[in-house]
Amino acid sequence: MPTEDRRETGSTGPDPVGAGGGAERAGRSRRSMARAVPVAVGLAAAAAGLGKRYLDARARRTEVEPAAPPTPAVGSTSPGPRAAPMTAPAPVAVPAPESAAATAPAPAAAAPRRSEDPVVAAELDRRRRIGPEIHDAAPTGDIRTLWDDHLLNLRLVNPANRRRFKVIVVGTGLAGAGAAATLSELGYQVEAFTLHDAPRRAHSVAAQGGINAAKGYKADGDSIDRLFRDTVKGGDFRAREADVHRLSEMSVRVIDHMTALGVPFAREYGGQIATRSFGGVQVSRTFYARGQTGQQLQIAGAQQLLKEVGAGRLKLHTRQEMLDLIVADGRAVGIVTRDMVTGDIVPHTAHAVVLATGGYGNVYFKSTLAKSSNVTATWRAHKRGALFANPCMIQFHPTSLPLTSEWQSKLTLMSESLRNDGRVWVPKEPGDDRAPEDIPEEDRDYYLERMYPSFGNLAPRDISSRAAKIQLDAGKGVGPLRNGVYLDFRDAIARLGRRTMEERYGNLLELYTDATGEDPYTSPMRIAPGPHFAMGGLWTDYNQMSNVPGLFVGGEASFNYHGANRLGANSLLSASVDGWFVLPWTVADYLAPLLGQEPVPHDHPAVIEAVAEASGRVDHLLGIGGTTGPDVYHKELGQLLTDHVGVERHAEGLAKGADAIRELKDDFWSNVRVVGHGQQLNQELERAGRLADYLELAELMALDALDRDESAGAHFRSEHQTEDGEALRDDDNWTSTSAWEAAPPDGVPIRRSEPLTFEAVPLATRSYK
């Protein structure tokens, strides 16, 4: 159950919020507050009834056999770009995104998963092709010892030889900083890149709730296997078992390591590390540092990175944006970056490239993510041949602040803990304009309490988000832009007194007042679902290596742990595990056989071509000379996605959305205006470049959502729901990951599937009843 939380300082710190009153306290509480956001969850549930016909046909599943037997294979695999053994360069043409398709045509008999609806099926056939299945090259065997067994089989690099290898790490978030610092400590030549002015600023810094680890410090029955099971189930059975088990195992080491690095985890009076439970989970396994867990982990990681910089072992490049991946002879051999201050576009080559560039939730324009979050790095890699997995899987957080003004720049999260005492409601009549205080009890609809009597206002994230959307679509949204629902403390204040509320939520409510000018003690707060986390990302194998040899991916940029829905506090964990405890081992395995080879020289044709292409794009953007700034387009894109690829989707809307996105993209390329020039710090140019990639990603998100003809976790297709409105998976056809190949010129994207098997945690229905 998704339960990450942003809690107020008071619930975890030594002093009750509001006490103290000193200037320091005021500042401190302000900082650790939650913040919110909005999202006009758009329209149209034209589809409300559209797929009901499926309902009768499909019984609600409880236990289902996996669809296809796994095709386990270590090292070499089924047809596909990874088929080449790692010791020899894959004989694939240079930067050919379409190469995989070319070398491995879709086997007609592969029983492609297709929609049952002939109209939808035809629509899909027009928009995508189906490619051969892929397999993850994960070893098979006892899942409990899999990672250890695997480590034993990984190749090693002699310490004396490590200096002879160069590794590029893009991103200095939890995943990137961990990988870069560790590889550097081990003796490899590492170059780290970030678009920020300092490594500490990566968006990991904004996470508050905490990080999960199966330490079992409380005698409450937690264990590695339990975290594993919770994660597989929470992901609605769309993640890889082997990878998730490794995540659980390594969680233990992450806490040890972070503690040693000086992360001030909250402590008990006896000096032990404190844990808390996140709503819904019955064990207490979330480690936290006040309300700033992400900040503390991120700063610790950045410090380790700077330690290596100070020691002269690691070269850090700040304010450098990766614009492209360089692929030569089928391998990732470098990147092209733009110096954001001087505008210089230059190549960097190495033996391997690690991407840890975070999530793409900002494709919605307003999300809970930082403004600079982008998909450019991973999307460019995708265009160069890397498979993009499950792009439609996006988690919406139910308690962000709705937009109050046109100019509100993002959807800040408000702590989910507010739902402990607040009651969520909307007016019964659409368009009811009365002030909330004037709406009498009988005209209010406490819809969560009505729809989910047992969970009520504490219904899990995806369910709450969806329920809110239903109200908004029905025209019952509240606030000036009619894009929120009420979260009302009136009854709690009457019951507990204003003082108690101040103690519990003082700083959150103050932040809300600050943002909106409204007083939540006298009139209800407004909240709305906001795009929050990308479960999808670049496809990787068990080694966190993409299908392009030499291209490694970690953290939110990859896809493999969270399936269709991420559990709260699991994402700081996955980024940390990838960075500190997976990539350093697996990258070495890839490098070992390359001993003696030099990084590709800068006059290699692939390097020259990539640089020319990146510069060409920049020049093109600057030269369009249209009339509309990039932000205007981004805003429109956000609205299209929110309407058609949002909390709830349906076939018709997705097809429409995909078309509208394509039109918008065409319009962008003919009518965008990017002021300024390229040889300077040009933030308009940065925005335009990122948006250009978001426009392409958005279309693929719509296509993936259309293609995946089932509901799973955060991907809720209204055609596929149970009678009581729960997500209805189609395990027979969709127990798989969709991994997309970029469209060849004038072609359509190719969807490949990686079958998933669930042996340690048998398939079951996720239920909140």
Partner 1 sequence: MRLILEVWRQADAASPGRFERYEVDGVTDEVSMLELLDMLNAQLVAEGREPVAFDHDCREGICGTCGLMVNGRPHGPEDFTPACLQRVRTFSDGDVVTLEPWRAGAFPVVRDLVVDRSALDRIIASGGYISTATNAAPEALTMPVNKHQAEAAMDHAACIGCGACVAACPNGAAQLFTGAKVAHLAELPQGQVERYERVRSMVATMESEFGSCTNYAECVPACPAAIGLDVIAHLNRDFRTAVVVQRRGEVPERTDVPWLARLRGGPWWQSDPDDAGDGTTR
* Interface residue list for ligand FAD (CB under 6 A): 4, 170-176, 193-196, 202-204, 206-211, 294, 321-322, 356-359, 368-369, 374, 376-377, 413, 532-533, 555-557, 569-573, 575
Tell me the C-alpha to C-alpha distance, in Å, between residue 740 and each of 293, 621, 696, 701: 34, 26, 13, 10
Among 201, 245, 461, 566, interactor with partner 1 by CB under 8 A: 201
Among 21, 517, 596, 601, interactor with partner 1 by CB under 8 A: 517
User: Is residue 276 annotated as part of the catalytic site, yes or no?
Assistant: no
Find out whether 471 and 447 touch, Cβ atoms under 8 Å: yes
Residue number, 164 or 532, with CB nearest to ligand FAD: 532
DSSP conformation letters of 234-302: HTTT-S-HHHHHHHHHHHHHHHHHHHHTT----B-TTSPBP-B--TT-SS--EE-STT-HHHHHHHHHH
Residue with token string 């490619």: 131
Q: Is 21 in the site for partner 1 (CB under 8 A)?
A: no
Could you tell me if residue 215 is left (phi over 0), alpha (psi between -120 and 50 degrees) or otherwise beta? alpha
Find out whether 527 and 401 touch, Cβ atoms under 8 Å: yes
3 state DSSP class of 336: strand
Q: Is 14 in the site for partner 1 (CB under 8 A)?
A: yes
Interacting span for partner 1 (CB under 8 A) from 154-162, 321-329, 511-519, 546-554: 511-519
CB of 249 to ligand FAD, least distance (A): 17
Q: Is 708 in the site for partner 1 (CB under 8 A)?
A: no
Which does residue 639 touch among ligand FAD, partner 1, none (CB within 5 to 8 A, set by kind)? none
CB of 755 to ligand FAD, least distance (A): 26
Which does residue 304 touch among ligand FAD, partner 1, none (CB within 5 to 8 A, set by kind)? partner 1
Which does residue 193 touch among ligand FAD, partner 1, none (CB within 5 to 8 A, set by kind)? ligand FAD
Residue with token string 């707060």: 525
Residue number, 174 or 426, with CB nearest to ligand FAD: 174
**x-or-dash pattern for partner 1, window 570-609, by CB under 8 A?**
----------xx--x-------------------------
Question: Under 8 Å CB-to-CB from 183, ≥6 apart: which residues?
Answer: 167, 169, 190, 583, 584, 587
Residue number, 141 or 625, with CB nearest to partner 1: 625
Among 315, 444, 482, 662, interactor with partner 1 by CB under 8 A: 315
Q: Is 306 in the site for partner 1 (CB under 8 A)?
A: yes
CA distance 507 to 582: 38
Which does residue 306 touch among partner 1, ligand FAD, none (CB within 5 to 8 A, set by kind)? partner 1
Residue number, 153 or 409, with CB nearest to partner 1: 409
CB of 613 to partner 1, least distance (A): 24
Find out whether 221 and 198 touch, Cβ atoms under 8 Å: no
Q: Is 268 in the site for partner 1 (CB under 8 A)?
A: yes
CB of 533 to ligand FAD, least distance (A): 6
CA distance 62 to 121: 27
CB of 532 to ligand FAD, least distance (A): 6
Q: Is 307 in the site for partner 1 (CB under 8 A)?
A: yes
DSSP conformation letters of 604-632: SHHHHHHHHHHHHHHHHHHH---SB-HHH
Residue number, 594 or 697, with CB nearest to ligand FAD: 697
Which does residue 154 touch among ligand FAD, partner 1, none (CB within 5 to 8 A, set by kind)? none
Site for partner 1 in 22-41 (CB under 8 A): 23-28, 30-33, 35
Which does residue 631 touch among ligand FAD, partner 1, none (CB within 5 to 8 A, set by kind)? partner 1
DSSP conformation letters of 693-738: HHHHHHHHHHHHHHHS-S-BTTB-BTTSB-TTS-B---HHHH-EEE
Which does residue 172 touch among partner 1, ligand FAD, none (CB within 5 to 8 A, set by kind)? ligand FAD
Site for partner 1 in 621-680 (CB under 8 A): 629, 631, 673, 675-676, 680
Size of the site for partner 1 (CB under 8 A): 98
Site for partner 1 in 352-391 (CB under 8 A): 370-372
Residue number, 352 or 557, with CB nearest to ligand FAD: 557
Residue number, 227 or 467, with CB nearest to partner 1: 227
CA distance 259 to 254: 8
Which does residue 268 touch among ligand FAD, partner 1, none (CB within 5 to 8 A, set by kind)? partner 1
Find out whether 129 and 742 touch, Cβ atoms under 8 Å: no
Q: What angle (nearest 5°) sits at the alpha carbon of residue 744, between those of residues 551 and 688?
A: 70
Which does residue 374 touch among partner 1, ligand FAD, none (CB within 5 to 8 A, set by kind)? ligand FAD
Strand partners, 389: 537, 739
Among 49, 85, 310, 616, interactor with partner 1 by CB under 8 A: 310
CA distance 489 to 8: 16
Residue number, 256 or 491, with CB nearest to partner 1: 256
Which does residue 358 touch among partner 1, ligand FAD, none (CB within 5 to 8 A, set by kind)? ligand FAD
CA distance 399 to 487: 9
Q: Is 152 in the site for partner 1 (CB under 8 A)?
A: no
Among 45, 55, 261, 346, interactor with partner 1 by CB under 8 A: 261
Q: Is 312 in the site for partner 1 (CB under 8 A)?
A: yes
Find out whether 428 and 439 touch, Cβ atoms under 8 Å: no
Percent helix, strand, coil in the chain, to 5, is 40, 15, 45
Task: Please give the single-letter amino acid code of residue 723.
Answer: E
CA distance 483 to 481: 5
Q: Is 615 in the site for partner 1 (CB under 8 A)?
A: no
Catalytic residue chosen out of the listed positions 127, 240, 423, 461:
461
Q: Is 399 in the site for partner 1 (CB under 8 A)?
A: no
**Strand order of the sheet with strand 320-328?**
320-328, 331-339, 345-349
Q: What angle (nearest 5°) sits at the alpha carbon of residue 590, between those of residues 589 and 591?
A: 95
Which does residue 155 touch among partner 1, ligand FAD, none (CB within 5 to 8 A, set by kind)? none
Q: Is 317 in the site for partner 1 (CB under 8 A)?
A: yes
Alpha helices in 44-167 (DSSP H): 52-57, 99-103, 118-127, 146-153
DSSP 521: T
Q: What angle (nearest 5°) sits at the alpha carbon of residue 759, between those of residues 151 and 72?
A: 55
CB of 87 to partner 1, least distance (A): 27
Residue number, 207 or 501, with CB nearest to ligand FAD: 207
Strand partners, 678: none
Interacting span for partner 1 (CB under 8 A) from 77-85, 180-188, 459-467, 523-531: 180-188
CB of 330 to ligand FAD, least distance (A): 23
DSSP 590: H
Which does residue 170 touch among ligand FAD, partner 1, none (CB within 5 to 8 A, set by kind)? ligand FAD
> Which residue from 208, 207, 204, 225 is spatially nearest to 283, judged by alpha carbons?
225
Catalytic positions, written as ranges: 461
